Structure 1
Amino acid sequence: MIAADPPGWPQLDLPWTTDVVVRGPRIFWGGPLDVEGLAVGSVSAAVTAANSFATSRGSSWRSWVASGLVGASFDSIGRLRRDGEPLVAWGELSGFFRTGDGWVRLHGNYPHHARRLLDVLGASDRAGVQSKLLELTSLDAETRIRAAGGIAAAVRTEREWREHEHHRTAIAHRPLIELGTPTGQARALGASNSLPLDGIRVLDLTRVIAGPTASRFLGALGADVLRVDGPDHPELLDQHLDTGFAKHSAELDFVDPGNLDTTRQLAGSADVVLSAYRPGALRRFGLDAGNLLTEYPHLVVVELSAWGASGPWEHERGFDSIVQAATGVATTYARPDGTPGALPVQALDHATGYLMATAAMRLLARRSTEGGATASLALARTANWLQDQPCSSITSDGDAFDGPDCPLWLDEAESSYGRLEHVRPPYFTGEVPASYPTTPSRYAADPPEWWLDQK
């Protein structure tokens, strides 16, 4: 059965205490960095916030964390099955490529990013991309691809990253969760006798993994979550199936005045807005944190970026894998032959997602006395925390029953996309693992309305 509470979980650099009960193995992946500590620490922070939020609303709801379930949830897309078939997580142009002097990591999962890679390198396929990159240095490849709107990062050592101007000016001294000044426009929370976030509205303006993981978790806790995407670059179906539980999915083009007005009305009637566009990208639509709180001072706005909202890389695109390459994680996990490696799961994305959820619930709980507020997070800062916590052991102390491979962590449900076998939410209530209230709806097919208003 699940082991007793293990000692030694590291503390995250958070403005709030984390005291939730954790049961299960302390090490299950093993490796040079404490990925387990980051994973369980971030989920514990979110579950602690949920317990505290429930208390503030007069609810007796309580939960605890099983570390093996956390491990499974951090590999949720890898464990997801659609009618028994696994999903394809990586595109042909995503991965490590040799350059004339080292390595570069590319991200080409999205069709528009793949096209930009092919165009800037004058290639037609992966082999052609590799051939062209051998003619460039890693830094030249990074610069050229980024200038063309593609996604790339030269593979650096951790020392090279720590000496980099962006790390020194924008990452090294920022907190893991950066908090803004509350507005002072207090709004009380209603009582709840059920799930902690029952009746709370969350507008999800995020993409890929981290932000959608946050909103999926908030939806599992009872929030009415509406994800809104634009029509130009639709989400990948596999990622929608992985993170689309416990929410609705709508499409609105912010460039269209009517659609933008609808989005702003949704924001004004929400309690929480989650955003994961590049810094400044939503400012022209008035959907950035500053404009939203000026117009709707009751809001809690949590923003995520890859590199932070300052420094020379503030406007650069980035994903978990790209941040791993740039910050030295890939070299820390290099194979014996020198080929760069990667974390056992996309832990930066998932951990930052749970920290976004933590910030949303903590600030929402304080809204009744302090008003709305903002929080911001960066994948590169999460990477820093991980690198500062070397793993104390490279051996596993879990087994198939209470580790990430435990079959109890999986659930099955019918959806509009077929039968989905998926990982449950990463917490227990009593002795029962939680379940998602709904499966992913058809992508972008829901009306841009709150489900609470339709009841």
Structure 2
Amino acid sequence: MVDGPRRWWGGPLDTEHLARTEVRRVRDAAAELAAARGLDIRIDTTDALTAASFAAHEHLRIDGRAPRAWGEFSGFVAGRDGWVRLHGNYPHHAAIIREVLGIDDRAGLEREVGRREVAEVETRIAAAGGIAVAVRAEHEWQGHPHHLATAGDPWSSVDDRRGRPELSSLHEPIAAPAGAVEGRPATLPLTGVRVLDLTRVIAGPTCTQLLACLGADVLRIDPPHRPEILAQHLSTGMGKRLALLDLRRDADRLRELAAEADVILDGYRPGALDAHGLGTEDLERTAPQAVLVSLSAWGEHGPWGGRAGFDSIVQAATGIAVRCGTDGRPGALPVQALDHASGHRMAGHILDGLVRGRATTIRVNLLGAARTLLAEPSPDARAAPPAVGREALEVPRVSVMSADGPLEAVPPPLRIEGRTLERPVGGYGAATVGWTR
């Protein structure tokens, strides 16, 4: 049990405990990995780093300016019989909302949702490939078919497949990565480890940013027709290389990269990559040596197993939004904790697999993070002192360079020998499709 004074965030759920637990878990895994590779270095974290990293997007400054957080069609909207939460940050999702409801702006969204039942809005937008859920209380979610099908599923699972090369033999020679900071050890725990990153938004990129800052060669591949939101890339892009590759034409090239990777992360909705020969079972055959990670919003089975989703959407469906609401209006956690906690949980499992020298298949879902948080004792039950807000902690921003200008950003929540792990952020889509060594 990881307990401590509740100082960062208010609200009825112990988000702070969740954050501390997952960051300390990955800290311990990183320290064990460093020792396994013969590195005499001290790895630790701080409360300030942990708290700030869970709000990394909020703390980001691009050439002194804060990025816009939400799109026009994102957020809570009142329906005829309740509330709906929509996600329209990405242009293709906003276009679906616009087309399904026949609207042009936020006023039209509120008008059209307001005259419909929330179940209709949820069903029609989801059927068209958009992102929307009816806001449910916990007892309502517990009666939902997807909850009934997945209630016994863990937040994360690890399947051990077979042996793999010892860490000491991974892509020698071990050398300091490009962009290393003066005074940092010349060798980092993941130097020489290749990570193929097929994730987007927050959870997966948070995980792979940490791996990159621990020395891994992280190559992220994005589809050119669905670009990432720039601020999200900048807030989780330290140390990575990001290339564009269209799987509709170049899936063979991605399979070649996968065959040479030590770690592969897939954040697409379940089944989305199967047609390209890049589903989890395909990757187990293509890259039998690799630690594989499959990240989903709702898990991989049940009525919603094939749906896409986001942290805010899972909060709304499962009862968190109702618990965090006031005066009959739903609310949200103070940070997108399901994403960040899941990202650190994935990183911990990856490091564990590398320490043990085993090829594993890791499955993580945001729904499991929500279930875990809802099952935690309330903050009051821990007899913690009242929250005083995140302003009580100094935000440990660092200055880093990016192709889009100077950034003030929060580094990953680990330190080596008391130093934070910031790295430069490369240009979006500017990397070569290939490994550096």
TM-score scaled by length of structure 2: 0.92
Give, in whole Å, the separation in 1 of the partners of 2:278 and 2:350.
17
1:28 aligns with 2:8: yes
SS state at 2:72 partner: coil
1:277-312: CA deviations, max 9, x gaps? 000111111212211112221111011000000000
1:186 aligns with 2:164: yes
SS state at 1:372 partner: strand
Indicate which of 281, 306, 317 corresponds to 1:315.
306
Which is worse superposed, 53-62 or 232-241?
53-62
1:449 aligns with 2:434: yes
1:115-147: CA deviations, max 9, x gaps? 100100011111111111112111111001101
Deviation at 1:398, TM superposition (A): 7.7
SS state at 1:90 partner: coil
Indicate which of 225, 241, 251 corresponds to 1:248.
241
1:18-59: CA deviations, max 9, x gaps? xxxxxx854321221110011111111111111111111111
For the aligned residues, what is the CA RMSD? 1.7
Give, in whole Å, the separation in 2 of the partners of 1:211 and 1:406.
26
Report the counterpart of residue 182 of structure 2 in structure 1.
none
Report the counterpart of residue 208 of structure 1 in structure 2.
201
Report the counterpart of residue 117 of structure 1 in structure 2.
97
CA contact (8 A) 1:9 1:26 kept: no
Give, in whole Å, the separation in 2 of the partners of 1:269 and 1:355.
24
1:351 aligns with 2:338: no
Deviation at 1:443, TM superposition (A): 0.7
Indicate which of 411, 415, 421 corresponds to 1:435.
421
Give, in whole Å, the separation in 1 of the partners of 2:367 and 2:193.
30
Deviation at 1:397, TM superposition (A): 6.1
- Residue type of the partner of 1:443? Y
Give, in whole Å, the separation in 1 of the partners of 2:359 and 2:390.
44
1:293 aligns with 2:284: yes
Where do residues 115-194 of structure 1 align in structure 2 (5 Å cutoff)? 115-170=95-150, 172-180=151-159, 182-190=160-168, 194=187
CA contact (8 A) 1:101 1:137 kept: yes
C-alpha distance 324-306 of structure 1, shift in aligned 2 (>3 A): same
CA contact (8 A) 1:26 1:67 kept: no
Give, in whole Å, the separation in 2 of the partners of 1:398 and 1:380.
26
C-alpha distance 399-72 of structure 1, shift in aligned 2 (>3 A): closer
Report the counterpart of residue 40 of structure 1 in structure 2.
20
CA contact (8 A) 2:51 2:390 kept: no
Give, in whole Å, the separation in 2 of the partners of 1:366 and 1:175.
22
CA contact (8 A) 2:400 2:408 kept: yes
1:365-414: CA deviations, max 9, x gaps? 223xxx411010110110010011122347126885xx5x414x111123
SS state at 1:86 partner: coil
C-alpha distance 58-422 of structure 1, shift in aligned 2 (>3 A): same
CA contact (8 A) 1:28 1:395 kept: no
CA contact (8 A) 1:61 1:196 kept: no
Deviation at 1:61, TM superposition (A): 2.3
Report the counterpart of residue 180 of structure 2 in structure 1.
none
What are the ranges of 5 or more consecutive residues in structure 1 without an aligned counterpart? Answer: 1-7, 11-23
CA contact (8 A) 2:400 2:425 kept: no
Report the counterpart of residue 397 of structure 2 in structure 1.
410
SS state at 2:293 partner: strand
Give, in whole Å, the separation in 2 of the partners of 1:429 and 1:240.
24
CA contact (8 A) 1:158 1:328 kept: yes
Indicate which of 354, 364, 367 corresponds to 1:377.
364
Give, in whole Å, the separation in 2 of the partners of 1:394 and 1:169.
38
Report the counterpart of residue 17 of structure 1 in structure 2.
none
- Taking every aligned residue pair, what percent have the same amino acid on both sides? 45
Deviation at 1:174, TM superposition (A): 1.4
Give, in whole Å, the separation in 2 of the partners of 1:179 and 1:63.
25
1:391 aligns with 2:370: no
1:309-350: CA deviations, max 9, x gaps? 000000112100000000100000001x21110000111111
CA contact (8 A) 1:425 1:435 kept: yes
* Paired positions, count: 418
Give, in whole Å, the separation in 1 of the partners of 2:342 and 2:371.
12
CA contact (8 A) 1:302 1:356 kept: yes
Give, in whole Å, the separation in 1 of the partners of 2:385 and 2:276.
48
Give, in whole Å, the separation in 1 of the partners of 2:390 and 2:218.
36
Deviation at 1:185, TM superposition (A): 3.7
Give, in whole Å, the separation in 1 of the partners of 2:232 and 2:102.
29
- Residue type of the partner of 1:300? V
Give, in whole Å, the separation in 2 of the partners of 1:308 and 1:138.
23
Report the counterpart of residue 342 of structure 1 in structure 2.
332
SS state at 2:400 partner: strand
CA contact (8 A) 2:10 2:389 kept: no
CA contact (8 A) 2:55 2:336 kept: yes
Report the counterpart of residue 407 of structure 2 in structure 1.
420
CA contact (8 A) 1:25 1:398 kept: no
CA contact (8 A) 1:211 1:276 kept: yes
CA contact (8 A) 2:401 2:425 kept: no
Give, in whole Å, the separation in 1 of the partners of 2:41 and 2:155.
28
TM-score scaled by length of structure 1: 0.89
Deviation at 1:429, TM superposition (A): 2.5
CA contact (8 A) 1:227 1:248 kept: yes
CA contact (8 A) 1:302 1:359 kept: no
Give, in whole Å, the separation in 2 of the partners of 1:276 and 1:399.
30
1:232 aligns with 2:219: no
Give, in whole Å, the separation in 2 of the partners of 1:120 and 1:365.
49
- Residue type of the partner of 2:274? R
Give, in whole Å, the separation in 1 of the partners of 2:229 and 2:8.
30
